[in-house]
Amino acid sequence: MSPWVAVPIAVLLLLAFSRLARLRPVLRPLVGPLAATVIAVTIVSVLGAAYPAAASPWAALVVLVPALVLVVRSAGLVLQALFLQRQGYAAPALLESVVAVVLYGMGAGFIAHRWFGVELTPFLATSAVVGAVVGLALQDTLGNLFAGIAIHTEDPFRVGDWVKVADSEGRVEQVSWRAVRLRTWYGNTVTIPNNEAARRAIENLSVPRTPHSRVMTIGVNYHTPPNKVLSVLESLLDQVELVLKDPRPALRIIGYGDFAITYEIRYFIARYEDYRAAEGEVNRLIWYYFRRHAIEIPYPIRTVYLHNAAETEAREGAAGRLERAIRGIDLFRPLSDEELKAAAAAFRHLHYSTGERIIAEGETGDSFFVIDRGEVEVSKTLAGKSRVLARLMEGQFFGEISLLTGEQRSATVVAATDVDVFTLDKAGFETILVQNPAIAVEISTILSERRDALTQARDDQTAPYAAGEDAGDRSRRILTRIRSWFGI
Closest among 280, 279, 269, 150 to 205, alpha carbons compared:
269
94-111 burial string, b = 16+ CB within 10 Å, else e? bbbebebeebeeebeeeb
Q: Can you name the CATH fold of 309-486?
A: Jelly Rolls (2.60.120)
Please give the pLDDT value at position 81.
Answer: 80
Residue 207 phi/psi, 5-degree rounding, is -125, 135
Q: Is 213 exposed, middle or buried, given 0-12, 13-18 or 19+ CB atoms closer than 10 A?
A: middle
Please give the pLDDT value at position 57.
Answer: 63
Whether 385 and 376 have beta carbons less than 8 Å apart is answered as no
- Taking the domain 212-292, which CATH number applies? 3.30.70.100
Query: What single-letter DSSP state applies at residue 465?
Result: S
Whole-structure pTM value? 0.55
Please give the pLDDT value at position 265.
Answer: 95
Please give the pLDDT value at position 125.
Answer: 55
Q: Is 324 exposed, middle or buried, given 0-12, 13-18 or 19+ CB atoms closer than 10 A?
A: exposed
Whether 485 and 431 have beta carbons less than 8 Å apart is answered as no
Which residues in 146-233 belong to E strands, given as ranges?
Answer: 162-165, 168-175, 179-183, 189-193, 202-204, 212-220
Whether 348 and 429 have beta carbons less than 8 Å apart is answered as no
Task: Report the distance separating Cα 355 and Cα 375, nearest Å.
Answer: 11
Name the 3-class secondary structure at 290: helix
Task: Report the distance separating Cα 30 and Cα 377, nearest Å.
Answer: 60
Express the helix, strand and coil content of the chain in percent, nearest 5 each.
55, 20, 30
Q: Where are the chain's structural domains?
A: 3-118, 158-204, 212-292, 309-486
Q: Is 166 exposed, middle or buried, given 0-12, 13-18 or 19+ CB atoms closer than 10 A?
A: middle
- Taking the domain 158-204, which CATH number applies? 2.30.30.60
Name the 3-class secondary structure at 245: coil
Torsion of CA 237, 239, 245, 247, to 10 degrees: -10
Closest among 474, 336, 325 to 398, alpha carbons compared:
325
Residue 333 neighbours by CB under 8 Å, 6+ apart:
442, 446
Name the 3-class secondary structure at 254: strand
Please give the pLDDT value at position 144.
Answer: 59
Query: What single-letter DSSP state applies at residue 206?
Result: S
pLDDT in tens, the chain (488 residues): 555 666 677 777 777 877 777 877 777 887 888 788 877 777 777 666 555 544 566 667 777 788 888 888 888 888 778 767 766 666 666 667 777 888 888 888 777 777 767 676 666 555 555 555 444 544 555 665 666 666 666 677 788 888 888 788 889 888 776 788 899 888 888 888 877 777 788 888 888 888 889 999 999 998 898 999 999 999 999 999 999 999 999 999 999 988 899 999 999 999 888 989 999 999 999 999 998 888 998 876 555 555 554 444 455 577 778 888 888 887 777 888 888 888 888 888 888 988 899 999 888 888 889 999 899 999 988 888 888 888 999 888 888 888 888 888 888 999 999 899 999 888 888 877 777 777 777 777 777 766 665 444 434 444 444 445 566 676 777 778 877 777 77
Distance of CA 300 to the CA centre of its chain: 34
Residue 444 neighbours by CB under 8 Å, 6+ apart:
475, 476, 478, 479, 482
Q: Do domains 212-292 and 309-486 have the same CATH topology?
A: no
Does the N-terminal peptide bond of residue 247 adopt cis geometry, omega within 30 degrees of 0? yes
